[in-house]
Structure 1
Amino acid sequence: MLVENNVALQPYNSFGIVARAQRLVRVGSGAEVAQLMNSPEWADGAARERAFVLGGGSNLVITGDIKPLVIKVEIAGRRLVDDNAKGWVVEGGAGENWHDFVAWTLEQGWPGLENLALIPGTVGASPVQNIGAYGVELQDRFHSLDAIDLQTGQAFTLDAAQCGFGYRDSVFKHAPAGEKGLGLAGRALITRVRFWLPKPWKPVLGYLDLERKMAETGIHAPDARQIFDWVVAIRRAKLPDPAVIGNAGSFFKNPTVTPEQCADIIARDPKVVHYPMADGSIKLAAGWLIDACGWKGKSVGHAGVYEKQALVLVNRGGATGGEVMTLAKAIQTSVYERFGIRLEPEPVVV
């Protein structure tokens, strides 16, 4: 366990926002988390209540210096937990880079996560956001996770049902509601995550960009590595590299509406991009809504909307968290005034 004071957070958030942590603790194992909870840094009950868990910082907007204790999760490790006739169970430490972990599973001959390639962040953050892309959500491949209760120090394990997964949502994004509240935001520190990769492997290809790749290449029965390479190429063509242009990936969730609401929007804007869902609702492309309101390429201060993908907000150099959120709120207002739809941000704002 390493404790540092007055730590620059710019390298630890993909937006590249300049801010500092008053105190930052790096933990590389569950044992070090336990050590932290028995340390002087943890003795202040108020500080303990407000402690902020930091993973890869890829889904984060920092609006100022962080005074509460920051816990930087750097727990490493990859292993095969089980291999049976029905599938593989693979495990990653919470601090592992997500994309590197996906690539490693394929290198070992364990397919199933290929559609989730190149999503920024860490393994530990993946169930918090219930990350998803190109027809696959994390909950489709989730097995279980280990975590530590930051209030009691008790270790616990959760299965998929207990994680309360929803669209870019989980129990880890909701605050506890009283003594019996199920929310774990700010309370659980995830240490390890396990994934269920079923046999026989079946490709997930029902997504327009992947269908285009099949048509372009003439490969209509791609293997998992081919899908991985396609997804990487698609994401690189659409989304800016955080190492080059600060961003947090998709900034808003794709909203869902009733068929009646969708029909009303289509009557006014026939080109609206929409997808029918299994439950009968309709998902609208938030990027299209933002673009239709004229925001692509526009800026507020040093924060802007990416020229190639309106769903992505970027740091054009020196942007503050306040500028990012001012831009986000202006976009929300425009979309609501034109379409009657409230866009919900994906990143955590601190």
Structure 2
Amino acid sequence: MTSNVIQNLSFAELQGLVADLGQPKFRAKQLYQWLYKHHAADYDAMTNLPTALRESLAETWPYRAARIEETQVSADGTRKYLVAFSDGVVVETVAIPSDDEKRLTVCVSTQAGCAMGCVFCATGLAGLARNLAAGEIVEQVLLAQADCGRRVSNVVFMGQGEPFLNFDSVLKALRILNDPDAVGIGARAMTVSTCGIISGIEALANVPEQFGLAVSLHAADQKIRDSLMPKVRHQKLTDLKTALAAYQKKTNRRVTLEYIMIHEVNDSPEDLAELVAFTRGLLCHVNLIPVNAVPDSAFQPSPKDTFARWEKTLREAGVETTVRESRGQDIAGACGQLKNTRAAR
């Protein structure tokens, strides 16, 4: 999405645009709500805008809506979308309904591809194509909401890409999604997940909104973590913990630590002891996640009794812990499986 596409503008930017076109101020809010609250298909759908304004906008501000190119539905109700943008770039987005249907969580991508190269994740296999614009991130939520026929309650920035390597677009998208005049999702109902980009953690700490933070830890041993996540090996675990402690001191918010459990790789008693030590002094929630199948990977999830032992030990250490249920595995829509694949015909 190029910078002069209308779907990439914040309310403040739309106010400036409307003023430049000689229109009254209230037109900016009308336009903003058509874009993000009503998700208009095109300018013609914006029926309360004057025809002359719509024609002027169409001439200078292309209306390039994203579209769902393909939908796959899991046996558990999870829906995975192949979302296509105007330049032909595609990403995957996942909609996850809760079992009681009270919540609908959308997992959005922030980059087309990923440069982080985590060895258990399919997204990085093809590398990074480009960053997504804020509007492209927001449209993933709007498309999923329309397809599911009900409001999205939660958004997790856990799809393709490293959000903190596209921080400006991610923050802009978060604020549009949070705005009651746009999508209206609560700040605490949105979580940004990072591989541990310390500069991004520091930047998020300075944001006044209470957006959530999750960190892909996956090992509390430096050598093991470096082997699993080679592109962040320059960021030491001691520095990461210091950054998280500073984040919590400034925000008073809990951090989620994500830990993918891989049999005989990072699930030994020593690994558990190191994780307990890492959490000491942090207000955190640990998510234990079974590694999911990825092409050309021999990784296997840890046995169930290992998960039970880890959960018990962490809870006894005073750490709130859950074992995440993998959703959408049968459509390659679970953690680490997103790679822009089309369904077999």
TM over 0.5: no
Using structure 1 for the length normalisation, give the TM-score.
0.28
Greater strand fraction, Structure 1 or Structure 2: 1
Greater helix fraction, Structure 1 or Structure 2: 2
